[in-house]
Structure 1
Amino acid sequence: MTRAFLRFWAADTVSLVGTHITTLALAVLAMDDLAASEFEVGLLRAMPWVPYLLFGLLAGVVVDRYRRWPILVGADLARFAVLGLAPVLHAVGALTLPVLFALVAVFGTLSLGYDAAHQSFLPKLVPATWLTTANARMEQTRATAQTAGPTLAGVLVTAVGAPLAILVDAVSYLLSGLVLATIRVKEEVVPPERRNLRRELREGLAWVYRHPVLRPMAVTGHMWFLFAGLAATVFLVFGYEVLGFSAFELGIAFAVGGVGTVVGASLSNRLAVPLGGPGRVILLGQWSTPVAYALVPFADSTVTGLVLLSAAQLVWGFGVGAGSPPEMAYRQAITPDHLQGRMNATIRSLNRAMIVVGAPLGGLLAGLFDHRTALWIAVAGLVVQAVLITRVRAIRDLELLPDPPAA
């Protein structure tokens, strides 16, 4: 791997550990300190993704117009400042749910720009033939963060409280930005005379939704994020408020999920041979999620219940770890450089927009019915998306990644 990629990888590791700390800490802060209802917890989980719904396609155009490295560095430093405001405002008694929603929404806007540039920057750091391996390494990083972050979150929230745990995440973005600032990669900028916002938006959408393989990947991916977002919200409230597990105990369950992702990412390339190609590995990942969440309704407040929650996270994590690298590598390899930002932003933004719908919907369904019923609705939706993508022969028979086309 190149030196630039190793620095990129290190920065990603630092910030992701902090991110998983905040995922748990924000929910605990909202429920314990701000008396948030189930629906409000769902809204809070949706807030970071609202900007993806509103500005996602525009972010792709911006990333394709400008150098991606300054966007990455600037977004990390700005996220440090915005997230750091939450514990400061809490300390002076000025933090309310609306204020927290606003901070998380601004944070999500910065993350939108970062994410669009992040996925588009990777092909500049490694040769095309290394993309699957590089994405697997990045997935291992995410998995390691998922393992360490929730465990550390449980310890920090218990020991020092949710606000200070969030401060740890803020500092992680500062460190990430400083590391990214040391990377030097040559990037070309599209000449101004080629810029036309409407045409550029159409080009990005057409590339994704007219492509015979990207289109079904994208559409079923949107469905996955809708129902996985629903299930994840119910999972957290179900485990914390209904079953009565502590933040530390839920942190253990999430950490087990991280172990599953590490294992899945480590085996992603190897699984392609016995399963019949990388397309089958992608399908394995799609089917793992409904199988995982089908375990959750059977959990109770005993040790066995915690084991079931942990097993669900393990299966979910394994599927994500195994299926994500070949899917991302395929998307990056077939997309010309001048469309990378729009391709990534289009797919990622609409995926995150589904969380905006799914997360509060999970809280709403749990309130209208009960948590187990809401989970079964999510499982049914996840089964439908898995069936739909499995029926696409071009994905089932996907074998080798093509060489990237000339930009």
Structure 2
Amino acid sequence: MREFLQRNPRFLRFWMATWASELGDWVRNITMTFLVLDLTNGSAVSLSVNLFCEFAPIFLFGLFVGALADRWNRKKTIMGAFTFRAIIMLCLIVAYLTGSLYLIYACAFVSAFGTLFFRSSSMAFLMLFVEPDDRKLAASMRQTSNSTMMLLGPSLGASFYLGVGTAGSLAVTITLFLTAALLISTIQVEQPVSTSQRTFGGIWKDVQNGFHYSWNNPYVRPLLFINIMYGMAAGLINVLEVFIITDFLDLPKEMMAMLASVQGGGMFLASLFIGKWKLPMHRMVPGGMMVAGVFLAGMVAYDSFYATAGSLVLFSVGLMMVNIGMAALLQNKVDFSYQGRAGMSISTTFNGVMVTTMLMSGWLHQTFTIRPVIMISGLLAALSGLVLYGVFDRIVRRENDLLPAKSEAA
């Protein structure tokens, strides 16, 4: 890792920007959560509406954002996304000062576009200064920052909120987002210029071409299907994790904090060593799905906190294998000009299923109880990983069979 950072200072600056962005997101998320609860006297419905506003743009507009990201200069798009999110934080300060819940919802909805443009542009931007052989390590290091903030972010966000209040926490968030934009501005890259038509018809054509490309790419199409199961598993665990504690293990809900720390720690440790594995990317993604599926079911296999916590750690390892392998696979198997659209096609599928599953989780829990819901979804996820393993193996063998023919033709 150190050797890679020393010979690639541009990635170091990008990585520092992601650290600032991740911390800013957590400070913002915790502050918004407490702000909504304070304004509504602890209303769970209001909190759910706010969460929906943050996720809705991803599956409603993800494909259009991906098309625009593929047209625009990636560096300027990322800088603009960070700056835009900082401006929205100013609007949140106004919402706090006026006590307007609807303005908070609007800020949550609009701010999601900044996140979308950053995510849809970042993979292609990395391709401009990270060589193919280093992309799996780069993806692993990005997951390290994400996992570390997942582990430390809630406590840091709460500390800022308690220490400097709502307005102060949002001011910290603004500073972090602007710092990220400044770091990105120092990265010098050369980028191909887009020749796409600057009309709505041209954008819609780009969306169609992007979906057509994703559907016909032998690696992306299986990932679209696998993200249906991936999104379902993520949606279930996001909602039902607390019920595993209270209903299945019969423990107080406060133990949820300990389980969240265990999950964050597992993801952090996994992100440190997965990038160093020699496992090919087309094996890492299905392998991760199988691991995640088996140990999702394992969380409710035995009535023991330690068994559940251990399964959660291994479930987190599986998720990191999927995330890192998928990011590196897309960067190496998707053309540069389609990075945004292919990535957003997958993200839209994942988030659409995840949000739908989150909405259904309460009903499923009440109807079937926690154990069968978790176990069946875990087994389905593991089965989908096994199917994906066979699909990718057939694709790679077909590519290897074509190599001699291409060599002879040359």
TM normalised by structure 2 equals 0.80
Residue identity in the other structure for 1:384: L
Worse-matched range after superposition: 379-388 or 213-222: 379-388
Does the CA-based 8 Å contact 1:153-1:251 persist in structure 2? no
User: Which residue does 2:270 correspond to in 1?
Assistant: 264
Does the CA-based 8 Å contact 2:143-2:324 persist in structure 1? yes
Instruction: Measure, in 2, the Cα distance between the counterparts of 1:8 and 1:228.
Output: 27
Q: Kindly tell me: are residues 377 and 86 of structure 1, through their superposed partners in 2, closer, same or farther at Cα, counting changes over 3 Å?
A: farther
Could you say what secondary structure the match of 1:391 adopts? Answer: helix
Q: Which of these residues, 47, 70, 74, is aligned with residue 64 of structure 1?
A: 70
Q: Kindly tell me: are residues 50 and 194 of structure 1, through their superposed partners in 2, closer, same or farther at Cα, counting changes over 3 Å?
A: closer
Q: Kindly tell me: are residues 244 and 43 of structure 1, through their superposed partners in 2, closer, same or farther at Cα, counting changes over 3 Å?
A: farther
Does the CA-based 8 Å contact 1:42-1:359 persist in structure 2? no
Residue identity in the other structure for 1:16: E
User: Which residue does 1:405 correspond to in 2?
Assistant: none
Instruction: Measure, in 1, the Cα distance between the counterparts of 2:27 and 2:136.
Output: 28
TM normalised by structure 1 equals 0.81
Shift of 1:80: 1.7
Q: Which of these residues, 377, 382, 396, is aligned with residue 381 of structure 1?
A: 377
Q: Which of these residues, 161, 173, 177, is aligned with residue 177 of structure 2?
A: 173
Residue identity in the other structure for 1:326: G
Instruction: Measure, in 1, the Cα distance between the counterparts of 2:260 and 2:377.
Output: 22
User: Which residue does 2:333 correspond to in 1?
Assistant: 334
Instruction: Measure, in 2, the Cα distance between the counterparts of 1:230 and 1:34.
Output: 26
Q: Which has the higher contact order (CA 8 A, sep 6+)?
A: 1
Residue identity in the other structure for 1:185: V
**1:263-302 map, 5 Å:** 263-273=269-279, 277-294=280-297
Q: Which of these residues, 180, 201, 206, is aligned with residue 212 of structure 2?
A: 206
Worse-matched range after superposition: 319-328 or 112-121: 319-328
Shift of 1:12: 0.3
Aligned positions, number: 388
Does the CA-based 8 Å contact 1:57-1:345 persist in structure 2? yes
RMSD between aligned residues: 3.5
User: Which residue does 1:352 correspond to in 2?
Assistant: 351
Q: Kindly tell me: are residues 202 and 299 of structure 1, through their superposed partners in 2, closer, same or farther at Cα, counting changes over 3 Å?
A: same
Shift of 1:70: 1.0
Unaligned runs of 5+ residues in structure 2 are: 1-6, 401-410
Shift of 1:76: 0.7
Instruction: Measure, in 2, the Cα distance between the counterparts of 1:186 and 1:131.
Output: 18
Instruction: Measure, in 1, the Cα distance between the counterparts of 2:145 and 2:89.
Output: 22
1:317 aligns to 2:321 (yes or no): no
1:51 aligns to 2:54 (yes or no): no
Instruction: Measure, in 2, the Cα distance between the counterparts of 1:142 and 1:257.
Output: 12
Instruction: Measure, in 2, the Cα distance between the counterparts of 1:18 and 1:240.
Output: 31
User: Which residue does 2:408 correspond to in 1?
Assistant: none
Worse-matched range after superposition: 71-80 or 207-216: 207-216
Per-residue CA distance 1:32-70 (angstroms, 9 max, x = gap) = 652455555444333222112221111111111110111
Q: Kindly tell me: are residues 79 and 100 of structure 1, through their superposed partners in 2, closer, same or farther at Cα, counting changes over 3 Å?
A: same
Does the CA-based 8 Å contact 2:59-2:352 persist in structure 1? yes
Shift of 1:142: 1.3
User: Which residue does 2:406 correspond to in 1?
Assistant: none
Shift of 1:236: 5.3
Instruction: Measure, in 1, the Cα distance between the counterparts of 2:125 and 2:315.
Output: 27
Q: Kindly tell me: are residues 69 and 200 of structure 1, through their superposed partners in 2, closer, same or farther at Cα, counting changes over 3 Å?
A: same
